[in-house]
Amino acid sequence: MRLAVAALLLGLTMMATGDEGNKDPCVYEALPDNDAVLCKGLKVFYPELGNLGCMVVPECNNYRQKITYWTEPIVKFPGALDGAAYILVMVDPDAPSRSSPKARFWRHWLVTDIKGADMKKGKIQGQELSPYQPPSPPAQSGFHRYQFFVYLQEGKTISLLPKENKTRGSWNMDRFLSRFHLGEPEASTQFMTQNYQDTLHHQALGGSSEPKDKPEPR
């Protein structure tokens, strides 16, 4: 009897520790500390995933493919002032790759004249200077950061130059901010993802397991 109990306990121990080296594709992974410094007061919600702020898009359920065709996320800034107007910017600083960002910054979304009351609720309604373009990291380009910034508009009329409107890539974001005397962002965040074809589990997965530790909608 004692031998049977010992064998059972040994089996349970092996089950609990045997897969430690295998990374679960459905666990939400936080960004490393050097990237997490950008995460300040902003929440970005995508369908099925919840708040992706400061997270890596999970590998499971084809999320890294789905995010390339989902419509714009819900972006909430709980600290927005009701009487203020804000500017929302979404960029990829890693185009075409983080190791060689020759097309930095790729402008994915630019909206001005967003009311503070709407920003609190996640209603991005205003003047859309660059319509939302989903994350679309090229194959074999590694992980890309997708960064969101919210700036206080302070009554300024914001516009893009004709040459800026011709392309989204290689956008001189610093020059844009300087042109309109925009200071530090009021809030910011980012998430990371890579091309779904580069995902190790892409061929092996096929189930529909739910991500673990999924952030609660807020």
Residues 169-217: tens digit of each pLDDT: 999 999 999 999 999 999 999 999 999 999 764 433 333 444 555 544 3
23 within a domain of the structure (yes/no): no
207 within a domain of the structure (yes/no): no
42 within a domain of the structure (yes/no): yes
What is the pLDDT confidence band of residue 12, given thresholds at 50, 70 and 90? very low
pLDDT at 8 over 90: no
Amino acid at 111: V
- Alpha carbon 14 to its chain centroid, in Å, reads 37
Amino acid at 200: L
Contact between residue 193 and residue 169 where contact means Cβ atoms under 8 Å apart: no
Q: Which pLDDT score, from 0 to 100, does residue 159 have?
A: 97
Q: Which pLDDT score, from 0 to 100, does residue 18 have?
A: 39
Domains in the chain, number:
1
167 within a domain of the structure (yes/no): yes
217 within a domain of the structure (yes/no): no
Question: End-to-end distance of the chain based on CA atoms, in angstroms?
Answer: 52
Mention every residue, 6+ apart, whose C-beta is less than 8 A from residue 26. Answer: 58, 59, 60, 61, 209, 210, 211, 212
Which residue range(s) make up the domain with 46? Answer: 29-200
Q: Which pLDDT score, from 0 to 100, does residue 23 have?
A: 61
Span 152-170, average pLDDT: 96
Which range has the worst mean pLDDT, 10-14, 36-40, 141-145, 148-152?
A: 10-14
Q: Which pLDDT score, from 0 to 100, does residue 14 have?
A: 34
Residues 112-155: tens digit of each pLDDT: 999 999 999 999 999 999 999 999 999 999 999 999 999 999 99
Residues 22-32: tens digit of each pLDDT: 566 788 899 99
2 within a domain of the structure (yes/no): no
CATH number of the domain that residue 143 is part of: 3.90.280.10
3-state secondary structure of 196: helix
Q: Tell me the whole-structure pTM to 2 decimals.
A: 0.82
5 sits in which H/E element = helix 2-17
147 within a domain of the structure (yes/no): yes
Q: Which pLDDT score, from 0 to 100, does residue 208 have?
A: 42
Dihedral of the alpha carbons of 142, 148, 149, 155, in degrees to the nearest 10:
130
92 within a domain of the structure (yes/no): yes
